[in-house]
């Protein structure tokens, strides 16, 4: 596959909503996606297949002073376990370094072993817990990765 990382904008709204629905059962509303794609302190990167222009994965984050807070990451179910999530996340980490961030933070469901293993492989460490964080009452682990002058 011939892939490219792109900055997502409001023109990608329908694709983001669709990918969210396919991967996380519509975690966010259309309105939330609009905000994510237009607000200046938010970063949305996508991975597209160049021939079809299909959005295969995306990640979004908020820039808060010198920290990047990951808010969403997903890869289309058909393309999972092919390294696309790692490729996308690596580009986000590179991008965050250009913004002089010191840390990347995110939350992950405490019982999501697959996601925890993925983040650990990228150098994230568990730094805390948020009780009853998700709509279903699940707890979230808070993960952190230092970024400034580190890989």
Cα 107 to chain centroid, rounded: 11
Domain extent, residue 40, equals: 3-146
On whether residue 71 sits in a domain, the answer given is: yes
pLDDT tens-digit series, residues 69-120: 999 999 999 898 888 988 998 888 888 778 778 888 999 999 999 889 989 9
The catalytic residues are 107, 119
- Contact of 62 with 101, CB cutoff 8 Å: no
pLDDT tens-digit series, residues 14-64: 999 999 999 988 888 999 999 999 988 888 999 999 888 899 999 999 888
Q: What is the pLDDT of residue 148?
A: 61
Indicate the number of domains in the chain.
1
On whether residue 151 sits in a domain, the answer given is: no
pTM: predicted TM-score of the whole model, two decimal places: 0.83
């Amino acid at each position: 596959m011939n892939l490219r990382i792109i900055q997502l904008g409001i023109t990608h709204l329908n694709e983001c909503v669709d990918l969210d629905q396919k991967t996380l059962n519509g975690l966010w509303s259309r309105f939330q996606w609009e905000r994510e794609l237009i607000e200046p302190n938010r970063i949305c990167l996508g991975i597209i297949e160049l021939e079809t222009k299909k959005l295969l994965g995306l990640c979004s984050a908020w820039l808060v002073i010198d920290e990047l807070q990951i808010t969403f990451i997903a890869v289309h179910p058909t393309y999972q376990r092919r390294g696309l999530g790692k490729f996308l996340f690596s580009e986000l980490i590179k991008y965050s370094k250009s913004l002089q961030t010191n840390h990347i933070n995110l939350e992950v469901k405490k019982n999501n072993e697959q996601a925890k293993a993925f983040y650990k492989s990228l150098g994230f460490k568990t730094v805390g817990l948020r009780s009853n964080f998700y709509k279903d009452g699940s707890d979230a682990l808070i993960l952190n990765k230092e970024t400034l002058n580190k890989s």
